[in-house]
Structure 1
Amino acid sequence: MEIEKSLYDNLQEFFGFDAFKGDQEAIITNILNKKDTFVIMPTGGGKSICYQLPALMSAGTAIVISPLIALMKNQVDQLRAFGGTDSIAHFLNSSLTKGEITKVKADVSAGKTKLLYVAPESLSKEDNVQFLKNIKVSFVAVDEAHCISEWGHDFRPEYRKIRLIINGIGENIPIIALTATATPKVQSDIRKNLQMNDATLFKSSFNRSNLFYEVRTKKNVVKEIVKFIKGNTGKTGIIYCLSRKKVEEIAEVLNINGIKALPYHAGLDAKTRADTQDKFLMEDVEVIVATIAFGMGIDKPDVRYVIHHDIPKSMEGYYQETGRAGRDGGEGVCISFYSKKDVEKLTKFMKDKPVSEREIGTQILKEVIDYSESSVCRRKQILHYFGEKFDETGCNNMCDNCRAQKTYFDAEADLIKVLNFIKEEGDKFDDHHVINMFLGQNNQPISSYKHDEHALFGSGKEQGVNYWNSLIRQAELADFIKKDIDHYGLLTLTEDGKRYLNNPYAIKFILNNPMEVSDDDGVEEPKQSSGALDTDLLGMLKDLRKKIAKQKSLPPFVVFQDPSLEEMCAHYPITMEEMKQIHGVGAGKALKFGSSFVDLIKNYVEEKGIDRPQDLIVKSTANKSALKVSIIQNIDRKIGLEDIASSKGISYEDLLKEVESIVYSGTKLNIGYFVDEMIDQDRQDEVYDYFKMAEVDSIKNALSELGEQDYSYEDIQLMRIKFISELGN
C-alpha cells in the first residue's frame, strides 16, 4: 500500500493529476518493482508519464533513449516546469556545446538529474558510455521502440545497438520499451532485439473513437485542402507531404490564400525548426505543412485535423500521424488523399533498395493501398492491422465508409472456392496470384504452377478484379485467412477459415466502390469551370470588355481573354481581391481593368439575388512562382530566351508558355531585345498591325492570314507576347 499511496501523492505533486489513465498505474508499479516492461499505447494515451513518474520516484538517473532532438527538448522543458529546477531533466545530443555537455554531466554526477534524454547516436559514443558506467542508472526507457524493427515505419539501424550498450553500462538494468504503433511482427522484433522476452506486456486498445477517418481521391487536392481549412477557421492542423519540395509548395499556397502556415522538414536548420514548433504550440500559426519529421512527441492536445496530401508509406506511419489529432479526446478529422501516381512514386523509391528491404516495403505499401481502396469500415481495417478485432457497428459512423451507401453481395459460394484453393495449394500464393487465377490471367507465375489448367481458372472473369479484391480483403478482416507479410504476403488459412469450410453459412460482404483514378499531383494551375455558365453575365462582361477596349484603342483580348471572363461567370468575384484570383487576371490586370468588371458583377449579383458558390477560387501557383520570378529577372538582364530555357532545364516552347502566362496576368516584360534578334522589323510591323485589327488572339488564325511559309508558330507567339505586354500591361 505504501507504493500506491506514494504513487498518487507524486502524481498530484509533479503533474497535478488526481487519477491515472488506463494501465498507467500498473505500468509504473511494474517499473518501480525493477521489472522489464513493454508498453504499447496509442498516441495521446499518456506514455511519457509511464517512465517520467517512476524516474522521479527512483534513486539514480533514468536514461531515456529518444530519436528526435525536438521531442527531447519538448519533454525536458515540461519536466523542468513541473519539477521547478533545470537540473531535474537534461538531454545529451549533438545540439549541445562542449560547455553545455560538461554542465549536464556535472548535474547527473551530483545526483540532481532524474531523467537524462539521450539520442541513440550519442549513447553509442565511447566517452558517454564511460560516463554512464560511473553513475547510478535507475532504468532505461526506450521511447519510439518501433524504430528497432525494419518492419516498423521509422526503422533506425542505431536502435539495434541499444541492448549491447546497456549491457556495457551495467548489469540487471531494467528496461521499459514504449511505442504507439506495433504490429505483432514489430512487437516480436522489439522483444528479441532488446532481449526482454520476460517483460510484462501492457497493450492498450488502438481504437481512437474520437477520430474521423476519410480517404479522398486526389483530385483538385489544393482546392480541397484550402476549402477544408477555410471551413475550420480557428482550428489548428497538420498537413503531411512526402517530399520537402511539396511541403514548401503547399505552405506557400496556404499563405497566398490567407492561411497562416509554416513548412517543417529536415532540410531547414535547427533554429528554424525549433521556432516553427514553438509558433505552432503558441498558436501563432494555424497549420504546419511537414514531412513525417514533425509531430513526434509534440504535446499539443488540440490539433483538430491531420491531412495527408500524399498517401503514407505505411499503416504504422499513418496511424501515428493521424494520432496527433484530438489527443484531448475532442474533435479530430483525418483526411488522406489517394492516387495511383503516389503509389508509383513510392514504388520507384524502393527500386534501388536491397531485395529484402524492397520485398518488405512492397508488403507494407500493399497494406496502405488495400486500406485506401477498400469500402469496409476504416477503423476495423486499422485495428485489424495491429492485431485487434473490432465490430464495425462500434465505429458510430466515424469514417467515410461507414457513412457511405454500401453495396453488399452474397459471398458464401465464392468464399468457399477461395478458401479451398488456399487450403489445397499449400499456402504458397499471395492475393494477386489468387485473383489472377480466378480472372484467367495467364501470366508466368500462373502457368509455371499449371494454374491455367485448374478447374477454377478464369471462372471469376465476369465478376472482375474489384469483386475479388473485396472478397479476399474481407475474408482476411473476418480472420478466415491470414496474410503472412514475413513471407511475401502469402495467404494462409486460419482456424476460423478451416471451421468455415467444415461448416459454411450465408455471409454478405461489401463490394468496393472503385476509386476514381486521378493524376493530380497537388499544386495545379486553376482550371476553368466546367459547370453551366451564366450566359447573361458573360454577354454583359463581353460588352464591357469591348467598350473598354474601344476606349483604349485595344483589341478586346488584350483586356481579358475569354477563359478569364468565363471563370468570372462561374465564381462571381465582387472584390478586387477575388478578381486577382481569377486565372489570367493577376494583380497587374486587376489594377488596370478590374474595377469596372467588379462593379458590374457586384450589381448583377445583387439585382438577381444570386447565391454565390461557396467553392473557393484558390490561388495555387506556388510551384511556378520561383521559376516565374527567375524568368522575369533574367529577361530584365536581357538574357536570350533560349539561354534561359537551357539554364532552367526546360524546352524553349515551355519557356514561351511561362512568359506568356506572366504577361497575360498583367506583368510587363520587355522582350524587344530578343524579338529584334529573331524577327526583322518589317515582319514585326506586319504581325503588330494584324493583332491591332484582330478580334481574337489565335496564333492559328494569324498564321493563316500572314502565311505559314513566312512565319513559324513561335514567331507569332513571340510577337503576341510583345504585343500584349506593351499595349495591355
Structure 2
Amino acid sequence: MPDAALDLLRRTFGHNDFRGEQAQIVQHVIDGGDALVLMPTGGGKSLCYQLPALLRDGCGLVVSPLIALMQDQVEALRQLGVRAAFLNSTLDAAGAAEVERQLLAGELDLLYVAPERLLTGRFLSLLERARIALFAIDEAHCVSQWGHDFRPEYRQLTVLHERWPEIPRIALTATADAPTRREIAERLALEDAREFVSSFDRPNLRYRIVHKDGSGARQLIDFLAAHRGSSGIVYAFSRKRVEGVAEQLQAAGIKALAYHAGMDSAVRAANQRRFLQEDGVVMVATIAFGMGIDKPDVRFVAHVDLPKSIEGYYQETGRAGRDGDPADAWLAYGLGDVVNLRQLITQGEAGEERKRLELRKLDALLGYCESTACRRQSLLGWFGEPHPGACGNCDNCLEPPESWDGTEAARKALSCVYRTGQRFGVVHVMDVLMGKPTDKVRQYGHDQLSTWGIGRDLDERAWRGVFRQLVAGGLLDADVERHGALRLTPLSTPVLRGEQELRFRREPERAAARGRDRRRGTAAALPDLAPDAQLRFDALRDWRATMAKEQNVPAYVIFHDSTLRAIAEAAPADLDDLSRIPGIGASKLDRYGEDVLQHLFDAD
C-alpha cells in the first residue's frame, strides 16, 4: 500500500490502519481496476471508493439510491475537509448549476447522484466534459430483479462502461447471496472485475428470536426496557401496524416516532431528521425506512412482524451496531405472520416464477427462526459462508433451547386438520384438539370427531408451538385463499404413517414471568465506563448535540459515540494527545479540538 493512501487514511479520516481487505481494494481501484465488493454493513465500504477518488485525478462519481443517504454522506465528508457535493431534487436550479460548475472546474473530489438523474442525456453530456476519477455504484444489489430493493434504473448503468471503458468502476453491497452476486456482475458488465468478498458475520450483533404473544407489543416494551435512552429501529409489517406500535410505545413513555410511505412527506422527513440528529429516538417503520440509514450508534433493530426473506432480515438487522459496539437484533413472530406474508406473496402481481422464489425464501427464514442451531451458523450458511457455530452471542448459544419428542403431538395435530376437512384455521383446530365446546365446534359437529379432546395433555401455548413448527417445517400449509385454513402437504404423510419422528423446540416460559433482571442480562450491552469517564462522555454528548443542532446535521457526522467514548476514557490533555484518538482527522481536530478539550476540563 503506497504511503500516500495510508497517510490520507490517518490524516483525513483519523484511522490508523485499514481493516480486512480495504487496503487491497483501494490499491486495485487506484491502479484502475474494476471491483465488486461485498462487505457487511459497518465494514467500511465507503472508504473503498472515497480514498481512491481522492488519490486519482478527477472527481469520483458515486451512484446512490436514496437522497437522505447521499446528503448525510456528503455532510460527513465535508466535516472531514473533503470537497463533496450531491445532485438531487432537493437542490433548486441555482444550487444544481453551482454543483455542475464545480464539477467542470475540477473543484470536487466526490459527487453523489441518483441513478435516475445520471441516466438523463443532459447529465451524461455533462460527464463527457468532466474529469472523472472513478464510478462507484453503491447498494449494487438494487440491480437484481429477484432482490428486495430492485431499482430498474440500476440495470441501465452499463452505460458507464460502454461510454467510459477506461474509467474504473467499483460496485458495492452488503447483501447478496451467490446468485445475486452473479447477477450483479452480469447486469453491470463486471464479469471481469475482481471480486472482494468479506465475511458477512457481524460479531457485535446479538441475535434473538421470540415467539409472539398476541401482538407482541408487551414483549417489545419489555425488550426496550434494557435499551432506555438508546437509538433503535422497530420494523412492522404494515402502515397501520407501524402507527399502532408507535402509539403503544409512546404511551409507555418511550420516545418513539412513526415512518411509512403513506405519511405526509414533510412529517416523514422531519421524523427521519429527528432520528438521525437526536439521541435515544426509537423509529417504528415499514421497510420504507431503509437503505438511507447511515446512523452508526443504532443499538437495536427489532422486528415485531416476520420479514419476507433472510436477505431482508440480514440487511435490516445490519443497521444496528454500525459503529462496531454491541447491539441487538430482536425478532418476534407467530403463525399469523406466516399467513399474512404468504397471502402478500401469492396474491401479488409478480409472475409465478418470482412468487415461487419468494415463497422459498420465506420458508428458509422460517427454518432459521425455528432452528435450534447457532443463529450465526444458520444465517451465514444462507450466504454460502461456513461458520463453526457456538458463537456465544445469540439466543440459541446463550440459552440452548430444550427440545422434545413431538411425533405423537404432530400426528394428533395433522389428523385433526384432516378430520376437520382441511378448511379451518389454527384456532378452531386447537379448540377441537383441546375439547373446547365452542359454538363453531358444535355447529360443524366436530365434538363428535375421533380427534375431539385428544390434545388435552398440552396447553394452548404448546399447541401453538406445534402448529407453528409444522408450518415452518412444511408439513402443513396455510391456505391464504381460505383465510389461513390449514391443509396437509406431502411431507406430512411419513409422520402420519409412523415412519418419521419429529422433535420440536420447547416453548419458553412467558417473557413476563422471567423478571426484568434476566431480560436485561440477555441484551447486548456496552462496557461500563468508570464514573469520571462517564461524566466526560455525557458532557461530550451534550456538546455534540448542540453542535449538531447549530449545523443542522446528524450528531454522528460530528463524532461517533465510539470516538466520544474513546476521548472520555483517554482524557487527552492537549491537541497532540487528542489527535491520536481513532476517528479524529486533521480537519476535525482543527474544527473541534479546542472545544472538546474545554468540555473535558469542565467535566473534570
Q: TM-score, normalised by structure 1?
A: 0.56
Cα distance, 1:378 vs. partner?
Answer: 1.1
Judge conservation of contact 1:240–1:308 (CA < 8 Å) in 2.
yes
Judge conservation of contact 2:41–2:174 (CA < 8 Å) in 1.
yes
SS in 2 for 1:111: coil
Judge conservation of contact 2:25–2:48 (CA < 8 Å) in 1.
yes
Separation (CA, whole Å) in 2 of partners of 1:139 and 1:157: 22
Judge conservation of contact 1:151–1:185 (CA < 8 Å) in 2.
no
Q: Does 1:158 align with 2:128?
A: no
Q: Does 1:137 align with 2:132?
A: yes
Separation (CA, whole Å) in 1 of partners of 2:117 and 2:96: 11
Q: Deviations over 1:595-623 (max 9, x none)?
A: xxxxxxxxxxxxxxxx99999xxxxxxxx
Q: Does 1:462 align with 2:460?
A: no
Cα distance, 1:15 vs. partner?
Answer: 0.8
RMSD across aligned C-alpha pairs, in angstroms?
A: 3.2
Residue of 347, 357, 361 corresponding to 2:358: 361
Q: State the match for 1:305 in structure 2.
A: 300
- Give the 5 Å matches for 1:114-129: 114-129=109-124
- Give the 5 Å matches for 1:205-604: 205-220=199-214, 221-350=216-345, 351-352=347-348, 353-393=350-390, 395-400=391-396, 403-407=399-403, 458=494, 461-462=497-498, 467=502, 511-513=503-505
Cα distance, 1:141 vs. partner?
Answer: 0.8
Q: State the match for 1:48 in structure 2.
A: 46
Q: State the match for 1:172 in structure 2.
A: 166
Moved more, 361-370 or 281-290: 281-290
SS in 2 for 1:249: helix
Q: Deviations over 1:48-107 (max 9, x none)?
A: 1111111112111211111111111110111111126xxx21212233222222111111
Cα distance, 1:115 vs. partner?
Answer: 1.2
Residue of 198, 203, 218 corresponding to 1:204: 198
Judge conservation of contact 2:243–2:258 (CA < 8 Å) in 1.
yes
Q: State the match for 1:697 in structure 2.
A: none
Cα distance, 1:459 vs. partner?
Answer: 7.2
Residue of 59, 63, 83 corresponding to 1:61: 59
Separation (CA, whole Å) in 2 of partners of 1:223 and 1:289: 15
* Runs (4+) off by over 6 Å: 434-437, 443-446, 611-615
Cα distance, 1:271 vs. partner?
Answer: 4.2
Return the structure number with greater relative CO, CA threshold 8 A, min gap 6: 2
Cα distance, 1:356 vs. partner?
Answer: 2.0
Q: Deviations over 1:248-277 (max 9, x none)?
A: 221122112111111122334554444323
SS in 2 for 1:267: coil
Unmatched segments (≥5 aa) in structure 2: 406-469, 477-486, 520-604
Number of equivalences: 439
Judge conservation of contact 1:310–1:338 (CA < 8 Å) in 2.
yes
Question: Could you tell me the percent identity over the aligned residues?
Answer: 41
- Give the 5 Å matches for 1:544-693: none
Judge conservation of contact 1:240–1:309 (CA < 8 Å) in 2.
yes
SS in 2 for 1:30: helix
Unmatched segments (≥5 aa) in structure 1: 410-430, 438-442, 468-510, 519-528, 532-610, 616-729
Judge conservation of contact 1:262–1:285 (CA < 8 Å) in 2.
no
Cα distance, 1:284 vs. partner?
Answer: 4.7
Q: State the match for 2:541 in structure 1.
A: none
Separation (CA, whole Å) in 1 of partners of 2:16 and 2:326: 24
Seen in structure 2, the aligned counterparts of structure 1 residues 14 and 614 have a Cα distance that, compared at 3 Å, is: closer
Separation (CA, whole Å) in 2 of partners of 1:263 and 1:80: 30
Residue of 27, 31, 34 corresponding to 2:32: 34
Cα distance, 1:35 vs. partner?
Answer: 0.5
Residue of 67, 71, 74 corresponding to 2:72: 74
Seen in structure 2, the aligned counterparts of structure 1 residues 213 and 358 have a Cα distance that, compared at 3 Å, is: same
Judge conservation of contact 2:69–2:293 (CA < 8 Å) in 1.
yes
Judge conservation of contact 1:397–1:403 (CA < 8 Å) in 2.
no
Q: Which has the larger radius of gyration?
A: 1
Separation (CA, whole Å) in 2 of partners of 1:79 and 1:435: 49
Seen in structure 2, the aligned counterparts of structure 1 residues 274 and 12 have a Cα distance that, compared at 3 Å, is: farther
SS in 2 for 1:151: coil
Separation (CA, whole Å) in 1 of partners of 2:250 and 2:488: 52
Cα distance, 1:241 vs. partner?
Answer: 1.2
Q: Does 1:7 align with 2:5?
A: yes
